[in-house]
Amino acid sequence: MKKVAVFSLIICLFSFPYAYFSLFQDFNNSSMKGYLLLLVISIILAFFGSLTNNSIAVLIGNTVSFIISYYFNSKMINIDSWDGYFKPIGSIRFLVVVSVINLIPQLVAINFAKSLNKKRIERTGILSKE
């Protein structure tokens, strides 16, 4: 039951449109804080997802977050300056680029969590503390 709760929590926390929020913060405030938030939260969620053996939840969560971000981004395309702000590639392609680049630090966090799990298994024989 605890594993299902952690699985669901990771998906719920990933369901926020972090990539869209980053673009929106950049567009409205000319601020990079949204991208920093995207990186920090996604790294933490990926790390704990892998640490608790919920890598599938991380994959599903990333997919859900991208779909929701894409939906909100498509609603903003009607604003003339929105798509032009992200020239030369446009907001949709930039959203894809941000989402793909965001996977790199997540993979590093996942590999780090797996190495910690491996050390824990070698030391104690227990897969994860749940």
pLDDT tens, position by position, 21-40: 999 999 999 989 999 999 99
The pLDDT assigned to 124 comes to 79
Residue owning tokens 């929701």: 68
Q: Show me where the domains of the chain are located.
A: 2-124
Neighbours of 31 (CB within 10 A): 13
Helical H segments across 15-54, by residue range: 18-29, 33-51
Tens of pLDDT along 86-121? 888 989 999 999 999 999 999 999 999 999 888 877
Residue owning tokens 């996604």: 42
Band the pLDDT of 123: cuts 50, 70, 90: confident
The pLDDT assigned to 26 comes to 93
